[in-house]
Amino acid sequence: MSDPTETSEKPATPATPAAPATPAAHDAHDDHDTPPPGDGDGNGNGNGQDGALYGILAQYDTPGELLEAARKVKDAGYSEFDCYSPFPVHGIDPAMGIKRTILPLVIFCGGFVGATGGLLLQWYCNAYQWGWNISGKPTWSIPANIPIAYECGILIAVLTSFFGVWAFNKLPQVWHPLFRSDRFARVTDDGFFIGIEAADKRFDAEKTKALLEGAGAIAIENVHFDPDPANKQMPKWIMGIIIASTAFALVPFAIAAKARNTKSSEPHWNIFPDMDYQPKAKSDQADDLFPDGRENRGEIANTVPRGWLEADETFYHGLEHADAGDSWTTGFPKQYPDSSAVPPDLRGQPFAIDMRLLKRGQNRFNIYCTPCHGYDAHGQGMVPTRVRSEGGNWDARNLVDPSGPVVQMPNGQLFNTISNGYAKMMGYAAQIPPWDRWAIVAYVRTLERAQNASHDDVPAADQGSIK
């Protein structure tokens, strides 16, 4: 294997100059005048069929010799040649006279386009085409858009680098003339090769061979194109997979397009039926398992769940008990129950309308009530304001209107409204514990008083100053 003459002098299989490669089968490597095919050297595949001459392949023993040879080939003025080695050889690029790739610059541009595109996409969707007013937040704010822009920048940069490598290497190419050489198989093991293409302007069968030999080649052989153009094409089954998978990837889009443009009375598709219909019990569902046909097992007879006793009708329900029937209490509870529903330091204490209660009421009111009723309780909170700005209608009651119903309501009824809701308003019993609801009642009463104050309410000493 190491004697250069062995290959060169191997008796040539009778070269059939049949089927010279048709122009259509030429690729980027051989867009030149085809040299006369079959000059007498054999290719290792032994099929006895040779196409046009691709070039000369020379093998070297070490990476150092390869580097040296590459330098000589470059200095001799060749440009259409390449080096092949089992691993990256340091310094091969300058030795071959290859300039640095512009791929990094292309990737940078890709990343830039991606980041800018990501920003534009968000601007178009969120700020321009379909701007939503969400609690008064701006539709366009740079910090919120940075992560998406960053991800888009990375994505496009990576895709650019992936496809850039393919494009710059003229891939995909499923064949190469060098693979017809048996010797060349060593390139993935311990072989170091230079292939000079016949396409090079300086190519001359004899002189080129002499140059490669002079550079210390241990073997030299001519390599020919495959005469069969079919072997230069992508195998049909690979093309089939590519076409089929591309078509398959378009199916969801086609379905979506059809759904957007047609009407149907069919129920919608359940792509994940076990997510849409989960095997679990919900309290309002029917079930065959139990004799009463309900999922909900209800409360166990003669028991009260912890914290559900609520014996104090006034504190928990705003009711004043009387034999003639219950009525809404007009005052406040007399005492906090000794219950875990009340802060520890208030349990069992007398109910006091003090600054602490009012501050607490203000705090809870500002959190839970102001979105609709507004800070001044005039019913002009953010929600009605925004619904009106979108052309809709949403009325929240003015809690302090002296002619309105709330001012006239007994405290117990106001408490009940907070607990259980009224009209569009949902009950807040789940979010606000009873003592907080009473604090809100006290605060609303305070607001009513403050908003409807008369001149006489001002302390006598100050009355003069604001008359």
Binding positions for other proteins, rule: CB under 8 A? 63-64, 67, 88-91, 100, 104, 108, 143-144, 146-147
Toward other proteins, which CB reaches closer, 144 or 247?
144
- Give least dist CB 143 to other proteins, A: 6
- Residues β-bridged to residue 60: 192
- Give least dist CB 90 to other proteins, A: 5
Toward other proteins, which CB reaches closer, 100 or 455?
100
Contact 458, 387 (CB under 8 A): no
Toward other proteins, which CB reaches closer, 19 or 146?
146
Q: How far apart are CA 196 and CA 78, in angstroms?
A: 8
Q: How far apart are CA 126 and CA 139, in angstroms?
A: 6
Closest to 330 in 3D by CA, of 345, 320, 339: 320
Toward other proteins, which CB reaches closer, 32 or 74?
74
Contact 44, 180 (CB under 8 A): yes
Toward other proteins, which CB reaches closer, 57 or 95?
95
Q: How far apart are CA 418 and CA 83, in angstroms?
A: 83
- Give least dist CB 361 to other proteins, A: 21
- Give least dist CB 97 to other proteins, A: 16
Six token digits for residue 332? 């406040």
Sign (positive/negative) of CA torsion 457, 461, 465, 467? positive
Toward other proteins, which CB reaches closer, 210 or 367?
367
Cα atoms in the 13 Å half-sphere on the side-chain side of 189: 5
Toward other proteins, which CB reaches closer, 42 or 63?
63
- Give least dist CB 91 to other proteins, A: 5
- Give least dist CB 340 to other proteins, A: 24
Toward other proteins, which CB reaches closer, 151 or 204?
151
- Give least dist CB 465 to other proteins, A: 29
- Give least dist CB 425 to other proteins, A: 27
Q: How far apart are CA 456 and CA 354, in angstroms?
A: 23
